Structure 1
């Protein structure tokens, strides 16, 4: 029973994140969708301890993104900046492969010419 509840909460979080990505600029949406899909797939067989940390961090991401999307929709700020800075403490707790992955993600998200030629519907 507990396993099915866990699967349900993972699936719900995954879907909610992808829905929130619809509000991102198109190039960030494509990058974010692919990253989320890869990460959730990669952690499918994670241990209970790893799964707990994984879910906690993705829930934090979902909450942050949801707040930023609501600010954007409400027009509270002229231009909403999506994302958040990581503290030194958070960065210090990362493993080497996580730092490398974060660096690659930063490079990809700041490229002037994107890997894909993505166009919004109707353009």
Structure 2
């Protein structure tokens, strides 16, 4: 991710005159490390592997994004995800329908692929345990 995006993220979290948000936005590298640490501490090994691969691919795909609004949304959503993982608030939670409606066709396809990968791992585990 471009250094200017890192500066923007830090500026947005500490800008004076703006109403303070519920959280300070972490720079991309710090957030990336936090996500991998959260996976290591709070997820079972099989979920950690899938989650780590997904996080790495997403951050790699967004490395050269220059649109600051897109980057702030990206970082905000990943930071919310990290907070949920660290607090175990994700167990049994459903996706927000409003967020699903805003997703592009590409994002919906990616979400579907993720769902299939999770289901595939679940059936593989079920067969191993039989």
TM-score (normalizing by structure 2): 0.70
Pairwise CA distance, 1:83: 6.2
Structure 1: segments with no counterpart, 5+ residues: 72-80, 115-123
**Aligned ranges 1:1-123 → 2 under 5 Å:** 3=4, 5=7, 6=9, 9-22=27-40, 23-46=42-65, 47-68=67-88, 82=91, 84-111=93-120, 112-113=123-124
Q: Is the 8 A contact 1:16 1:62 kept in 2?
A: yes
Aligned length: 102
| Greater helix share, structure number | 2
* Cα pair distance change 1:38/1:83, threshold 3 Å: farther
TM-score (normalizing by structure 1): 0.74
Alignment RMSD: 2.2
Structure 2: segments with no counterpart, 5+ residues: 11-25, 126-130
Bigger mean CA deviation after superposition, 46-55 or 26-35: 46-55
